[in-house]
Structure 1
Amino acid sequence: MIANKNFNVIGAIGDIHTEEQLLKKSVDFLKSQNVDKILSVGDIVDGLGDANQCCDILRREAILTVSGNHDRWLLNNQLRDLKNATQPDSLSIASHSFLSSLPATREFPTPHGLALLCHGLGENDMVRLNPDDYGYAIQANTDLQNLIRDGKYRYVINGHTNRKMVRHFGNLTIINAGTLKPGHEQGFVVINFVEQFVQFYKFLEDSAIEAAETVSLIDCL
């Protein structure tokens, strides 16, 4: 557990992929919103930007962060022939230490129940849940079904797919914070657990920040 008292309003940053400039803009904006805490779903490395600067920002600003599959691959020196892969010898000692310290999951309390921060789903940083998964894709998603059945968490904040999302499965709500990665709708979220909504923000072409859609945390179906 990362807090003894409820987090009422948080900022959540999706997959970073070395986008240090957008990461800084996201953090600065979220700090201006007086959120209780800023969270990151991992995948800090593997991209066109500077992984060391991203680690420095996350560490300096005390962003609650979990490890993503790309971070794990880098530490294990796996798949370094991926396009725009961060190479192990490019990491500073401080960045390597920071990445090595990241857990796969973190828990924190909210006014309506326990929340889980992770990259994929739970301990599995490779499992995907897409906005358009239905039917068999949901039934066959063992990690999702385990989370639903166990009933421990009211919310899961994750990433991995680079697709922003709010989905309800009974008493479990899953919020995907999206990504800062180019080629996707780059942005981040503010989650208000008291007033029960998620406010998505997006970056425009000049990197200005604009409010996008607001999605209820209450399943109205």
Structure 2
Amino acid sequence: MRSQNIFNIFCVGDIVDGGNDVNRCCQILQAEKIISVLGNHERWLLNNQMRQLKNATSLDNLTKKSQSFLKYLPTTFEFSTSQGLGLLCHGLDKNDMAMVKPDDYGYAIEVNYDLQKLIKEQKYKYMINGHSHCPMVRSFQDLTIINAGTLKKEHHPGFVTINFHASYVSFYKFIAQNRIEIEKIIDL
């Protein structure tokens, strides 16, 4: 577990299978020491699964350094914040296919066993994830889930900044002509 610096930069997976330069992306993530976790697309690539997907990355197109980087990505990463322990993951904890969406309520929450386990354990104050590609901040008892959204062009790309000390999340979206605009700020 790493302690919180003034700021950390996180990547929650889906580095591959987007039709972009995966080698360059891996190079930037490594050079900038961006804390990254394995997502389902990286797992599929490394296990030679789901390669029929549109824009699927071929392992043969990756450098050995990129392959090694992806191979050794952890599935989760714990970090400390001024408010409590945080978890970086792709889905929900170690399940890279599990998710909670902004409009999940009632039965969908009750039978989400991965979510219920995290709530019951009361280990984490925050969980930063992706997978659903839906930017979101939702609290379930003492667990607050912050979904970073996506960078995929066709899915309303954006990113988040989180200030744990001041307890707020800022959502940014990319708009025309390479501009970035703040979409909303949510208090934690």
TM range (shorter): over 0.9
Identity of aligned residues (%): 57
Instruction: Report whether the alignment pairs 1:103 with 2:65.
Output: no
Offset at 1:184?
1.3
The match for 2:187 is: 216
In structure 2, C-alpha distance between the alignment counterparts of 1:135 and 1:151, rounded to whole Å: 20
Could you give the per-residue CA deviations for residues 150-208 of structure 1, whole angstroms, max 9, x where no partner exists?
00000000000111000010111000000001221211011011111100111112221
In structure 1, C-alpha distance between the alignment counterparts of 2:99 and 2:143, rounded to whole Å: 16
The match for 1:68 is: 39
Which letter maps to 1:100? Answer: K
Offset at 1:139?
0.3
Number of residue pairs aligned between Structure 1 and Structure 2: 188
User: So what's the TM-score if we normalise by structure 2?
Assistant: 0.98
In structure 2, C-alpha distance between the alignment counterparts of 1:58 and 1:205, rounded to whole Å: 25
Offset at 1:86?
0.3
Task: Determine which of 5, 9, 14 is the counterpart of 1:43.
Answer: 14
- Counting only pairs closer than 5 Å after superposition, residues 1-221 of structure 1 correspond to structure 2 as 1-3=1-3, 6-7=4-5, 36-217=7-188
In structure 1, C-alpha distance between the alignment counterparts of 2:185 and 2:64, rounded to whole Å: 40
- Coordinate RMSD, CA, aligned: 0.9
In structure 2, C-alpha distance between the alignment counterparts of 1:209 and 1:78, rounded to whole Å: 35
User: So what's the TM-score if we normalise by structure 1?
Assistant: 0.83
The gaps in structure 1 that reach 5 residues or longer are: 8-34
In structure 1, C-alpha distance between the alignment counterparts of 2:33 and 2:169, rounded to whole Å: 22
Secondary structure, in 3 states, of the residue corresponding to 2:137? strand
Higher relative contact order (Cα pairs below 8 Å, separated by 6+ residues): 1
- Deviation >2 Å, runs of 4+: none
